[in-house]
Amino acid sequence: MQFQPVFEKSERPILIAGPCSAETEAQVLTAAHALAEQGIDLFRSGIWKPRTRPDSFEGVGSKGLAWLRRVKEETGLRVTTEVANANHVYEALKYGIDVLWIGARTTVNPFSVQEIADALRGADVPVMVKNPINPDLKLWMGAIERLYKAGIRRIAAIHRGFSYFGDTRYRNVPRWQIPLELKRRFPDMQLICDNSHICGRRDILLEVAQKALDLNFDGLMTEVHPCPDEAWSDPAQQLTPVDYGHMVGRLVVRQPTTDDTDFLETLDNLRHEIDELDDELFNLLARRMQVAERIGLYKKRNNISIFQPARWTEIVERAVTKGAQLGLSREFVEVLLKAIHDESINHQEKVMSEPRGARVKD
Ligand code: PEP
Ligand code: MN
């Protein structure tokens, strides 16, 4: 699949901003004028709002489309809104909405996505696809593929985090490896981070935005409202236009690469060092597996089972303590050890299931 850019390529991040919901014409226009002055690339505002629980504000509906058209006329900004069914698509296209987006609660449902894709057949409008609420890369890719099959080529992806049941500092946990895997599979597709819906709160918006840029995301989508505390949806995560300007101003934009030869030489040396260390790691791991096989053989001769829970707990505790002394997180040590242990068990199992006498050299 070959995607075309939704936004012109540039050295600085793509900036999409605007209120969570369009509430009144005055609120939309105030936000848009303030953001136009800051040179954003696309103005966002939800007209149809899919809410998790009933009785929340569900958007102003089609009448908000005329407000967005006025934003275009008065500020020259391109505008975007969320569509969740075929009728939304027809209405939005009728009003000249420049870019459409599919929300997280729609991406999860292939029937809805297909309905939208069918409604878009033959239309030349870019579409941004938010990740589904659950951490399912295939569902996200599936939505993109449905649009692609309908002839849409200008497609971008928006990472807005994933639902999580339990305590976390985020509203939706980022699970950065999922959008990065999407980027690996679709390298020419622009990837945007919706820091507002990941954070759910104002105080960590900059941190998450910076992390996204450090991971080479192409841009940010952020909710901005003239009076955030009075917003009809998502008040805790929206910024005033002034605070949004501060956030953008504090971002450090890193370039994917440079032609500075000193820099490139140093990077090259460090990368060699990494490659050598990786080789060493693999040699050590291979040796560890050989020892595991010897243990397997020994257990087999003595008729002892492979998995010993007490030994496993002891290994983990020892490694976590050692890891902490070396500055390695508990999470990392546990994941790493589990992978090594699984592989060890496979090796032990292999020698256990070999016919008796197959290995005599030990
Ligand atoms: C939104 O952007 O306001 C929205 C409803 O987002 P999501 O689909 O990511 O929940
Ligand atoms: Mn919102």
Is pLDDT at 55 greater than 90 in this prediction? no
* Ligand showing the shortest atom-to-Cα distance for residue 228: 2
Cβ(161)–Cβ(175) under 8 Å?
yes
Q: Which atom of ligand 1 is nearest to the CA of 161?
A: 9
Cβ(251)–Cβ(210) under 8 Å?
yes
Same domain (yes/no): 226, 304? no
Alpha-helical (H) ranges within 11-85 are 25-37, 63-75
202 pocket-lining for ligand 1 (C-beta < 6 Å) = no
Is pLDDT at 362 greater than 80 in this prediction? no
Task: Please give the average per-residue pLDDT across 202-226, as a whole number.
Answer: 98
In 3D space, the residue among 142, 71, 150 whose CA is nearest the CA of residue 108 turns out to be 142
Q: Which atom of ligand 1 is nearest to the CA of 158?
A: 9
Which CATH number is 136's domain given? 3.20.20.70
46 pocket-lining for ligand 1 (C-beta < 6 Å) = yes
266 falls within a domain: yes
6 falls within a domain: no
Cα Rg of the chain (Å, integer): 26
Contacting residues for 23 by C-beta, under 8 A, at least 6 apart: 60, 231, 232
Task: Tell me the pLDDT tens digit for each residue of 108-160.
Answer: 999 999 999 999 999 999 999 999 999 999 999 999 999 999 999 999 999 99
Which residues constitute the domain of residue 90?
14-250
Same domain (yes/no): 225, 339? no
% of the chain with per-residue pLDDT over 90: 83
Query: How far is the centre of ligand 1, averaged over its atoms, from the C-alpha of 260 (Å)?
Result: 41
Q: Which atom of ligand 1 is nearest to the CA of 49?
A: 5
The number of CA neighbours under 13 Å toward the Cβ of 22 is 27
For residues 360 and 186, the model is more confident at 186
**Kind of pairing between the strands at 127-130 and 190-194:** unpaired
% of the chain with per-residue pLDDT over 70: 98
Is pLDDT at 353 greater than 90 in this prediction? no
104 pocket-lining for ligand 1 (C-beta < 6 Å) = yes
* Ligand showing the shortest atom-to-Cα distance for residue 234: 2
Same domain (yes/no): 84, 206? yes
For residues 238 and 10, the model is more confident at 238
Other C-beta atoms within 10 Å of 190: how many? Answer: 23
Same domain (yes/no): 180, 282? no
Task: Please give the average per-residue pLDDT across 300-328, as a whole number.
Answer: 89
The burial of 320, by beta-carbon neighbours within 10 Å (0-12 exposed, 13-18 middle, 19 or more buried), is given as: middle
Q: What's at 240, amino acid-wise?
A: T
Domain's final residue, options 202, 230, 250: 250
Cβ(9)–Cβ(187) under 8 Å?
no
Query: How far is the centre of ligand 2, averaged over its atoms, from the C-alpha of 11 (Å)?
Result: 27
Same domain (yes/no): 211, 128? yes
256 falls within a domain: no
Task: Please give the average per-residue pLDDT across 44-62, as a whole number.
Answer: 93
Is pLDDT at 94 greater than 80 in this prediction? yes
Q: 161-165, 259-263, 312-316, 331-335 — which one is most confidently predicted on average?
A: 161-165
- Residue 360's pLDDT is 47
Distance between terminal CA atoms of the chain? 53
Of 26-40, 52-66, 70-84, the poorest mean pLDDT is in: 52-66
Domain's final residue, options 184, 218, 250: 250
5 falls within a domain: no
Cα–Cα distance, 27 to 154 (Å, whole number): 30
360 falls within a domain: no
Task: Tell me the pLDDT tens digit for each residue of 294-307.
Answer: 988 888 899 888 77
Among protein residues, the one with the nearest Cα to ligand 1's atom 9 is 104
103 pocket-lining for ligand 1 (C-beta < 6 Å) = yes
Is pLDDT at 359 greater than 80 in this prediction? no
- Residue 357's pLDDT is 56
Other C-beta atoms within 10 Å of 100: how many? Answer: 24
In 3D space, the residue among 191, 185, 186, 194 whose CA is nearest the CA of residue 215 turns out to be 191
Is pLDDT at 358 greater than 80 in this prediction? no
Q: Please count the residues of the chain.
A: 362
* Total domains, the chain: 2
20 pocket-lining for ligand 1 (C-beta < 6 Å) = yes
- Tell me the residues surrounding ligand 2 (ion) with CB < 5 Å: 20, 234
In 3D space, the residue among 85, 91, 84, 51 whose CA is nearest the CA of residue 68 turns out to be 91
Q: What is the mean pLDDT of the chain?
A: 94
Rounded alpha-carbon distances, angstroms, from residue 31 to 14, 91, 210:
18, 23, 23
Cβ(315)–Cβ(341) under 8 Å?
yes
The burial of 153, by beta-carbon neighbours within 10 Å (0-12 exposed, 13-18 middle, 19 or more buried), is given as: middle
Query: pLDDT band for position 349 (50/70/90)?
Result: confident
Query: How far is the centre of ligand 2, averaged over its atoms, from the C-alpha of 305 (Å)?
Result: 54
Query: pLDDT band for position 348 (50/70/90)?
Result: confident
Same domain (yes/no): 143, 221? yes
Cα–Cα distance, 293 to 353 (Å, whole number): 12
- Residue entry with tokens 């998502």: 234
In this structure, the dihedral spanned by the alpha carbons of residues 136, 139, 145 and 149, taken in order and rounded to 10 degrees, is 180
Which CATH number is 287's domain given? 1.20.59.10
241 pocket-lining for ligand 1 (C-beta < 6 Å) = no
In 3D space, the residue among 191, 183, 119, 128 whose CA is nearest the CA of residue 151 turns out to be 119
4 falls within a domain: no
Cα–Cα distance, 118 to 148 (Å, whole number): 11
Same domain (yes/no): 106, 202? yes
